[in-house]
Each structure stands twice: as structure tokens, then as C-alpha cells.
């Protein structure tokens, strides 16, 4: 089973790239976000998720482990195949996806090609608690692999995680805490610090009782 490829980008096409590893070209399907970060002729390290079927073997590639773990998590939802998962990751970063799911923002998830309102609702509903647990570091990702915050959104994810943890310590449930922090983050904008997210999250939660 292929898990990692290190080589040179030989070709970039619509939804795929070819990675040359010591003269062997591997066809790798990727999100447009990933494809936008590679260039023909440049070296690349690509994390791979291998899907083996009766009639084919497909390689799906990601430049960081976080995106690969999101891919694996998304495909646990009924109706989300590899193509749809890549479409979602093409329009939303990991941090944006965390906030959209936590806030129940079906419209954001539904921006991806192939994701209608019904499927967007299923994704948000089925992953809300999992995403909250993963954000807090209290649960593992698919097959026991812990999701990690990587890439440009890592700092914001750290602030989100710390603010959510603070609200959980006050007695709110992980899913409610993350939803409140995500709503606050949307209002405060990129770069909001932990203290601001905590205040904003408490304002979103309002006079709800602690210790539920």
C-alpha cells in the first residue's frame, strides 16, 4: 500500500498530477487546493491515500497530513465518495471546514461541486461531534490516526482549539462550545486571539446553563 511519494512533478492536469519517482510516473488525484501548490518540474512530497477496488487502484494525494485526514473523515459519511471529498477540500481549507461543520453552515459545505443541500446537511450532522472531539484532541481520526492542524490555518486552529477547550472547562459540551467559537470567529474575522474568541463564544452561548 502506497502511503507517501517523494519525487518530481511531471504533469499537472484537471484534478490530477503525475509524480515521477525515480523514472516511474504515478497518477495521483488531488484537490484543486493541492494542485495549486505544486508546479511541473519541482520536487514534492505527497501524502497518499490508496483506494483498491476490484477494477482499479487509485491514489489520492495531499501535501499535508491534515488534508489527508480530512479526506478520510469526509469519506466516512454516506454519499461522500473520493470525488466529492476532493471537491469539498478544493473549496474549503481544514480550518474553514471545521468552522462550517461546527456552526452547522450547510451553505458553506454545499459550495462544493456535487454536494446538494441534503448531503451538506448529512455531512454537518454526522461530523459535528467528531470534529468537536478532534479539535479538542480528545479523539482520534479514522483508523486511529489523530488529525493535526497544518498549513496556513494552523494558527487559527490553535486559537479555536484553546478557546473551545476553555468553554468546555466552564461546563459546555464540546459540540456547543466549538459551534459558539466558530460563530464568534466568523464575526471577529481572521486573526482573532483566544481571549476574544472566548468572549465571543460566551456571548453566542448566552445565558445557557453550565454543566449540561
Structure confidence by residue, pLDDT tens digits, 25-42: 999 999 999 999 999 999
Mean pLDDT of 126-144: 65
Q: Where residue 140 falls among pLDDT bands split at 50, 70, 90?
A: very low
CATH 2.40.50.140 assigned to domain 4-63? The reply is: yes
Number of Cα atoms under 13 Å in the Cβ half of residue 170: 19
Bridge partners, residue 21, by sequence: 24
Q: Which CATH class is domain 66-205?
A: mainly alpha
Say what the pTM is. 0.74
State yes or no: pLDDT of 155 exceeds 60. no
Nearest partner of 210 among 160, 167, 172, judged by Cα: 172
Cell match 460563530: residue? 183
Cell match 498549513: residue? 151
pLDDT of res. 148: 43
User: What are the grid coordinates assigned to 175, written together?
Assistant: 459540540
3 state SS of 8:
strand
State yes or no: pLDDT of 146 exceeds 60. no
User: What are the grid coordinates assigned to 98, written together?
Assistant: 471545521
C-alpha distances in angstroms, 13 versus 2, 29, 37, 114? 21, 9, 13, 20
CATH 1.10.150.20 residue ranges for the chain: 66-205
CATH 2.40.50.140 residue ranges for the chain: 4-63
- Asked if 160 and 98 count as a contact pair (C-beta separation under 8 A), the reply is yes
pLDDT of res. 139: 32
Amino acid at each position: 500500500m502506497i502511503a507517501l511519494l517523494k519525487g518530481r512533478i511531471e504533469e499537472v492536469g484537471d484534478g490530477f498530477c503525475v509524480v515521477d519517482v525515480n523514472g516511474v510516473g504515478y497518477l495521483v488525484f488531488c484537490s484543486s487546493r493541492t494542485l495549486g501548490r505544486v508546479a511541473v518540474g519541482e520536487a514534492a512530497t505527497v501524502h497518499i491515500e490508496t483506494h483498491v477496488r476490484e477494477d482499479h487502484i487509485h491514489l489520492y494525494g495531499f501535501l499535508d497530513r491534515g488534508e489527508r485526514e480530512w479526506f478520510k473523515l469526509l469519506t466516512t459519511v454516506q454519499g461522500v465518495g473520493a470525488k466529492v471529498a476532493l471537491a469539498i477540500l478544493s473549496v474549503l481549507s481544514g480550518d474553514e471546514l471545521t468552522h462550517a461543520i461546527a456552526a452547522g453552515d450547510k451553505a458553506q459545505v454545499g459550495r462544493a461541486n456535487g454536494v446538494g443541500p441534503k448531503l451538506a446537511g448529512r455531512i454537518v450532522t454526522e461530523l459535528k461531534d467528531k470534529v468537536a472531539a478532534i479539535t479538542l484532541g480528545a479523539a482520534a481520526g479514522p483508523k486511529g490516526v489523530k488529525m493535526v492542524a497544518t498549513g496556513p490555518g494552523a494558527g487559527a486552529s490553535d486559537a479555536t482549539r484553546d478557546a473551545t477547550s476553555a468553554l468546555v472547562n466552564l461546563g459546555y459540551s464540546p459540540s456547543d462550545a466549538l459551534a459558539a467559537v466558530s460563530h464568534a470567529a466568523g464575526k471577529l474575522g481572521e486573526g482573532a486571539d483566544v481571549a476574544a474568541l472566548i468572549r465571543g463564544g460566551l456571548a453566542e452561548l448566552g445565558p445557557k446553563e453550565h454543566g449540561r
